[in-house]
Protein backbone atom coordinates (compact mmCIF):
# COMPACT_ATOMS: atom_id res chain seq x y z
CA UNK A 1 0.00 0.00 0.00
CA UNK A 2 1.24 3.47 -0.84
CA UNK A 3 -0.47 6.60 0.38
CA UNK A 4 0.29 9.41 -2.01
CA UNK A 5 -0.57 12.13 0.52
CA UNK A 6 1.00 12.26 3.95
CA UNK A 7 2.58 8.81 4.06
CA UNK A 8 4.44 8.15 7.30
CA UNK A 9 8.09 7.18 7.19
CA UNK A 10 8.22 3.39 7.21
CA UNK A 11 11.10 1.20 8.23
CA UNK A 12 12.53 -1.11 5.57
CA UNK A 13 10.33 -4.16 5.27
CA UNK A 14 7.24 -2.62 6.88
CA UNK A 15 5.19 -2.85 3.69
CA UNK A 16 6.06 -6.53 3.37
CA UNK A 17 5.17 -7.10 7.02
CA UNK A 18 1.68 -5.65 6.54
CA UNK A 19 1.18 -7.49 3.27
CA UNK A 20 2.22 -10.80 4.83
CA UNK A 21 -0.29 -10.21 7.63
CA UNK A 22 -3.05 -9.78 5.04
CA UNK A 23 -3.81 -6.12 5.71
CA UNK A 24 -4.64 -3.46 3.14
CA UNK A 25 -7.68 -4.98 1.45
CA UNK A 26 -10.43 -2.88 -0.05
CA UNK A 27 -14.20 -2.42 0.04
CA UNK A 28 -16.85 -2.52 -2.65
CA UNK A 29 -18.63 0.82 -2.48
CA UNK A 30 -22.37 0.76 -1.99
CA UNK A 31 -25.17 2.61 -3.74
CA UNK A 32 -26.48 4.51 -0.68
CA UNK A 33 -23.54 6.24 1.02
CA UNK A 34 -23.84 8.73 3.84
CA UNK A 35 -21.35 11.40 4.88
CA UNK A 36 -20.42 12.00 8.51
CA UNK A 37 -18.51 15.21 9.25
CA UNK A 38 -16.85 14.64 12.60
CA UNK A 39 -16.27 17.58 14.96
CA UNK A 40 -15.65 20.43 12.56
CA UNK A 41 -16.75 22.66 15.44
CA UNK A 42 -15.07 25.90 16.43
CA UNK A 43 -13.28 24.31 19.35
CA UNK A 44 -11.34 22.22 16.83
CA UNK A 45 -11.17 24.49 13.79
CA UNK A 46 -10.30 27.80 15.45
CA UNK A 47 -6.54 28.11 16.07
CA UNK A 48 -7.31 30.48 18.95
CA UNK A 49 -9.04 27.67 20.82
CA UNK A 50 -6.86 25.63 23.22
CA UNK A 51 -8.03 22.46 21.46
CA UNK A 52 -8.07 23.96 17.96
CA UNK A 53 -5.86 24.32 14.90
CA UNK A 54 -6.18 25.67 11.37
CA UNK A 55 -8.34 23.22 9.41
CA UNK A 56 -9.32 25.59 6.61
CA UNK A 57 -8.10 23.38 3.76
CA UNK A 58 -9.84 20.27 5.10
CA UNK A 59 -13.09 22.21 5.50
CA UNK A 60 -12.88 23.49 1.92
CA UNK A 61 -12.38 20.00 0.53
CA UNK A 62 -15.14 18.62 2.74
CA UNK A 63 -17.52 21.25 1.38
CA UNK A 64 -16.77 20.01 -2.14
CA UNK A 65 -17.63 16.48 -1.02
CA UNK A 66 -20.80 17.67 0.70
CA UNK A 67 -21.99 19.38 -2.47
CA UNK A 68 -21.47 16.16 -4.42
CA UNK A 69 -23.29 14.19 -1.73
CA UNK A 70 -26.29 16.52 -1.84
CA UNK A 71 -26.47 16.24 -5.62
CA UNK A 72 -26.51 12.46 -5.25
CA UNK A 73 -29.23 12.65 -2.58
CA UNK A 74 -26.99 11.29 0.18
CA UNK A 75 -27.54 12.23 3.82
CA UNK A 76 -24.97 14.44 5.53
CA UNK A 77 -24.56 14.25 9.30
CA UNK A 78 -22.44 16.50 11.50
CA UNK A 79 -21.11 15.78 14.98
CA UNK A 80 -19.82 17.89 17.83
CA UNK A 81 -18.50 17.21 21.33
CA UNK A 82 -20.29 19.01 24.17
CA UNK A 83 -20.25 18.51 27.93
CA UNK A 84 -22.79 19.63 30.51
CA UNK A 85 -20.88 20.92 33.54
CA UNK A 86 -23.58 19.48 35.78
CA UNK A 87 -23.07 15.86 34.72
CA UNK A 88 -20.54 13.42 36.25
CA UNK A 89 -17.06 13.58 34.78
CA UNK A 90 -16.51 11.52 31.67
CA UNK A 91 -13.54 9.21 32.21
CA UNK A 92 -12.00 10.24 28.89
CA UNK A 93 -11.55 13.78 30.22
CA UNK A 94 -8.98 12.53 32.71
CA UNK A 95 -6.80 11.84 29.67
CA UNK A 96 -7.98 14.66 27.41
CA UNK A 97 -8.49 17.43 29.95
CA UNK A 98 -8.66 20.21 27.37
CA UNK A 99 -11.94 18.79 26.08
CA UNK A 100 -13.69 19.83 29.31
CA UNK A 101 -13.85 23.35 27.90
CA UNK A 102 -16.26 22.18 25.20
CA UNK A 103 -19.40 22.98 27.17
CA UNK A 104 -23.02 22.83 26.06
CA UNK A 105 -24.16 26.13 24.57
CA UNK A 106 -20.67 27.61 24.18
CA UNK A 107 -19.36 28.91 20.84
CA UNK A 108 -16.68 26.20 20.86
CA UNK A 109 -19.21 23.42 20.24
CA UNK A 110 -20.96 25.16 17.34
CA UNK A 111 -20.33 23.79 13.86
CA UNK A 112 -17.85 26.00 12.05
CA UNK A 113 -19.96 28.41 9.96
CA UNK A 114 -17.66 27.78 6.97
CA UNK A 115 -19.09 24.25 6.74
CA UNK A 116 -21.91 23.81 4.23
CA UNK A 117 -24.41 22.60 6.79
CA UNK A 118 -28.09 22.91 5.90
CA UNK A 119 -30.78 23.34 8.59
CA UNK A 120 -32.07 19.81 7.97
CA UNK A 121 -28.64 18.19 8.46
CA UNK A 122 -28.62 16.38 11.82
CA UNK A 123 -26.01 17.32 14.42
CA UNK A 124 -25.05 14.43 16.67
CA UNK A 125 -23.83 15.62 20.09
CA UNK A 126 -21.36 13.22 21.65
CA UNK A 127 -19.16 12.92 24.74
CA UNK A 128 -16.66 10.36 23.47
CA UNK A 129 -14.28 9.97 20.54
CA UNK A 130 -16.48 7.80 18.32
CA UNK A 131 -19.56 9.34 16.74
CA UNK A 132 -21.28 6.00 17.33
CA UNK A 133 -20.67 5.60 21.07
CA UNK A 134 -23.68 6.60 23.15
CA UNK A 135 -25.43 8.35 20.24
CA UNK A 136 -28.26 7.70 17.80
CA UNK A 137 -25.94 7.74 14.76
CA UNK A 138 -26.33 4.05 13.91
CA UNK A 139 -30.14 4.24 14.07
CA UNK A 140 -30.07 7.35 11.90
CA UNK A 141 -27.92 5.69 9.25
CA UNK A 142 -30.14 2.59 9.27
CA UNK A 143 -33.24 4.76 8.85
CA UNK A 144 -31.66 6.27 5.72
CA UNK A 145 -30.78 2.82 4.38
CA UNK A 146 -27.09 3.75 4.26
CA UNK A 147 -24.78 1.00 3.05
CA UNK A 148 -21.46 2.91 2.99
CA UNK A 149 -20.02 5.62 5.22
CA UNK A 150 -17.71 8.46 4.21
CA UNK A 151 -15.97 9.89 7.28
CA UNK A 152 -14.53 13.42 7.24
CA UNK A 153 -13.50 15.82 9.97
CA UNK A 154 -11.25 16.09 12.99
CA UNK A 155 -9.08 14.89 14.37
CA UNK A 156 -7.57 12.19 12.16
CA UNK A 157 -5.85 10.41 15.03
CA UNK A 158 -8.74 10.85 17.46
CA UNK A 159 -12.43 11.12 16.69
CA UNK A 160 -12.12 10.37 12.95
CA UNK A 161 -10.17 7.19 13.61
CA UNK A 162 -12.50 6.10 16.42
CA UNK A 163 -15.55 6.74 14.24
CA UNK A 164 -14.07 4.83 11.31
CA UNK A 165 -13.24 1.84 13.52
CA UNK A 166 -16.78 1.75 14.90
CA UNK A 167 -18.21 2.27 11.42
CA UNK A 168 -16.54 -0.81 9.98
CA UNK A 169 -17.37 -2.69 13.18
CA UNK A 170 -21.02 -1.86 12.51
CA UNK A 171 -20.73 -3.36 9.03
CA UNK A 172 -20.32 -0.27 6.87
CA UNK A 173 -17.69 -0.16 4.13
CA UNK A 174 -15.87 2.93 5.37
CA UNK A 175 -14.19 5.58 3.22
CA UNK A 176 -11.90 8.38 4.41
CA UNK A 177 -11.09 11.17 1.91
CA UNK A 178 -7.47 12.12 2.52
CA UNK A 179 -7.90 15.86 2.09
CA UNK A 180 -11.06 16.04 4.24
CA UNK A 181 -9.51 15.12 7.58
CA UNK A 182 -7.15 17.15 9.75
CA UNK A 183 -5.15 16.92 12.96
CA UNK A 184 -3.15 19.14 15.29
CA UNK A 185 0.16 17.64 14.19
CA UNK A 186 1.38 16.02 10.98
CA UNK A 187 2.93 12.85 12.43
CA UNK A 188 -0.24 11.45 14.08
CA UNK A 189 -2.25 12.50 11.03
CA UNK A 190 0.00 10.56 8.66
CA UNK A 191 0.31 7.53 10.90
CA UNK A 192 -3.44 7.35 11.40
CA UNK A 193 -4.18 7.52 7.68
CA UNK A 194 -1.74 4.68 7.12
CA UNK A 195 -3.29 2.60 9.90
CA UNK A 196 -6.83 3.30 8.71
CA UNK A 197 -5.98 2.24 5.17
CA UNK A 198 -4.34 -0.96 6.31
CA UNK A 199 -7.04 -2.08 8.77
CA UNK A 200 -10.31 -0.17 8.84
CA UNK A 201 -11.08 2.04 5.84
CA UNK A 202 -10.32 2.86 2.24
CA UNK A 203 -8.34 6.10 2.33
CA UNK A 204 -8.82 7.78 -1.04
CA UNK A 205 -8.32 11.19 -2.65
CA UNK A 206 -11.37 13.40 -2.32
CA UNK A 207 -11.62 13.76 -6.10
CA UNK A 208 -12.06 9.98 -6.41
CA UNK A 209 -14.89 10.00 -3.88
CA UNK A 210 -16.54 12.97 -5.57
CA UNK A 211 -16.41 10.97 -8.80
CA UNK A 212 -17.96 8.01 -6.96
CA UNK A 213 -20.83 10.20 -5.75
CA UNK A 214 -21.20 11.60 -9.24
CA UNK A 215 -21.57 8.09 -10.66
CA UNK A 216 -24.54 7.55 -8.35
CA UNK A 217 -26.18 10.68 -9.74
CA UNK A 218 -25.62 9.44 -13.28
CA UNK A 219 -27.16 6.10 -12.36
CA UNK A 220 -30.28 7.80 -11.02
CA UNK A 221 -30.79 9.74 -14.26
CA UNK A 222 -30.26 6.82 -16.60
Active-site annotation, residues: 159
CA gap 137, 131 in Å, rounded: 7
Residues 6+ positions from 122 with CB-CB distance below 8 Å = 77, 78, 140
Contact assessment for residue 88 and residue 143, using Cβ atoms and an 8 Å cutoff: no
By the 8 A CB rule, do 42 and 110 touch? Answer: yes
Helix axis angle for 161-169 and 186-199, nearest 10°, is 10
Q: How many CB atoms lie within 10 A of CB 121?
A: 17
> Is residue 36 within 8 Å of residue 131, measured between CB atoms?
yes
Amino acid sequence: MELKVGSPDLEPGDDATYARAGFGGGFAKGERPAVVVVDFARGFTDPASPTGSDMTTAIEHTNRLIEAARTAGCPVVFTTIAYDPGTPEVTWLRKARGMAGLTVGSPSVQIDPRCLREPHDPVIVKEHASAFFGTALLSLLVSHGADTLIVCGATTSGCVRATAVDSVSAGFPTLVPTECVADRAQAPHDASLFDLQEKYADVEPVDDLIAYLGSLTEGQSS
